[in-house]
Structures are given as structure tokens and as C-alpha cells.
């Protein structure tokens, strides 16, 4: 008996927005924690930055890597399709994360 083959390509397709979701939950949780517990606001700024920068980097890497794979000549049809999809999803996920984080630059976390 061997373990089940994982559907790596489906997980790959889901990954850009899974990172968006994780980023969203973490940023919202940091804001909630800082305000409910009365922690210094600096914790919110630093925490959000520490979450946001790696999230942007990870999605950007996913997108660029997928774009490279989609462009490679030896990719089979279904693989090329998945790569194109991941590249496009990464772009949209980056946009959605930017949408999320812009208010944090403009508003006080606990007002």
C-alpha cells in the first residue's frame, strides 16, 4: 500500500489566494488583539508589516515562477494551463492584498 498521490496542481492553483486568506486573517487578528488588549499601536504596525511583506514576496514569487513555467516550451497542455492560471491568480491576489493593506496606512488601528 502506498500513500495517496496528492493533487499538487490543485493545491498550486489554490495557493495564491490561500496566502491572501492567511494574510487577511493575520492582519485582522493583529488589529483585533492590539485594540482589545490595549497593546501599544506600534505592535500593530510592526506586526502587520511582518505579515504583509512575506505575503507579498511569496505571492510574487509564485506568480513569477508560474509565468516562467507557462512560457517554457516543454510544458504539457494541462500543465501550461495550470501555470497560466496560477500566474493570473497571483496577480489578482497581489491586488487584493494591496486593497486590504492600504487602509492600514491611512487609519489609526483602534479608532
Partner 1 sequence: MSAPAIDAARDHARRLEALARIWSNAPGLRGQLTAVNHGTIALRFVVAGLAFMLVGGLLSMFMRLQLAWPDAQVLEPERYNQFVTMHGTTMMFLFAVPIMEGFAMYLLPKMLGARDLPFPRMSAFGWWCYLFGGLFLYSSLLFDAAPDDGWFMYVPLTDAIFSPDKGPDFWLIGVTFAEIAAVTAAVELIVAILLTRAPGMDIRRMPLFAWAILVMAFMIALGFPPLILASILLELQRAFGFVFFDPALGGDPLLWQHLFWLFGHPEVYIIFLPAAGVVSMVVPTFARRPVVGYAWIVLALVSTGFLSFGLWVHHMFAVGIPLLALAFFSAASMAVAIPTSIQVFAWIATLWAGRPWLRLPMLHILGFLVVFVLGGLTGVMLAFVPFDWQVHDTHFVVAHLHYVLIGGLMFPLFAGLYYWLPLVSGRIPSESLGRMAFWLVIIGFHLTFVPMHLTGLLGMPRRVYTYSPVLGVEWLNLLSTAAAFVLAVGIVAILVDVGLCFVHGRRARANPWRAGTLEWAVPVPVPNYNFASAPRVEDAYPLWHDPGLRERAARPDGLLGDPARGRRELLGTGIVSARPEQVVFLSGSSWLPLACAAVVTVLLAFFIAGQYLFSAACLLPLVALFCRWAWTTGWPGGPASVEAGDGLVLPSQYASRNAPGWWAIVVTMLIVGSLFASLVYAYFYLWLGSAEWPPLGMGDAAPGPLHYAVPAILVVAWAGGAAATAALRARRHRRRRVVAPAMVAAGAAIAFVALHLWLLGASLGAPQAHAYASVVWTLAGFCAVHLAVAALLCLQVAARVGRGLVDAGRPLEWRIAHAFLRYAIVQAAIGWAVIHLFPVLQ
- Binding positions for partner 1, rule: CB under 8 A: 1-5, 7, 9-10, 13-14, 17-18, 20-21, 24, 27-28, 31-33, 35-37, 77-78, 81-82, 84-85, 88-89, 92-93, 95-96, 99-100, 102-104, 106-111
* Backbone torsions φ then ψ of 4, nearest 5 degrees: -65, 145
Nearest residue (CB) to partner 1, 32 versus 54: 32
Q: From residue 19, how far is each of 7, 24, 38, 77 by CA, in Å?
A: 18, 8, 28, 26
* H or E, element range at 15: helix 8-37
Nearest residue (CB) to partner 1, 65 versus 96: 96
Smallest separation, CB 35 to partner 1 (Å): 6
Terminal alpha carbon distance of the chain: 58
Smallest separation, CB 61 to partner 1 (Å): 18
Amino acid at each position: 500500500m502506498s500513500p495517496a498521490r496528492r493533487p499538487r496542481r490543485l493545491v498550486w492553483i489554490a495557493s495564491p489566494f490561500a496566502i491572501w486568506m492567511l494574510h487577511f486573517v493575520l492582519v485582522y487578528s493583529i488589529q483585533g488583539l492590539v485594540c482589545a488588549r490595549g497593546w501599544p499601536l506600534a505592535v500593530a504596525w510592526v506586526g502587520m508589516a511582518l505579515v504583509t511583506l512575506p505575503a507579498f514576496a511569496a505571492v510574487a514569487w509564485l506568480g513569477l515562477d508560474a509565468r516562467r513555467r507557462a512560457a517554457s516550451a516543454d510544458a504539457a497542455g494541462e500543465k501550461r494551463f495550470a501555470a497560466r492560471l496560477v500566474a493570473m491568480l497571483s496577480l489578482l491576489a497581489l491586488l487584493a492584498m494591496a486593497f486590504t493593506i492600504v487602509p492600514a496606512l491611512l487609519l489609526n488601528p483602534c479608532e
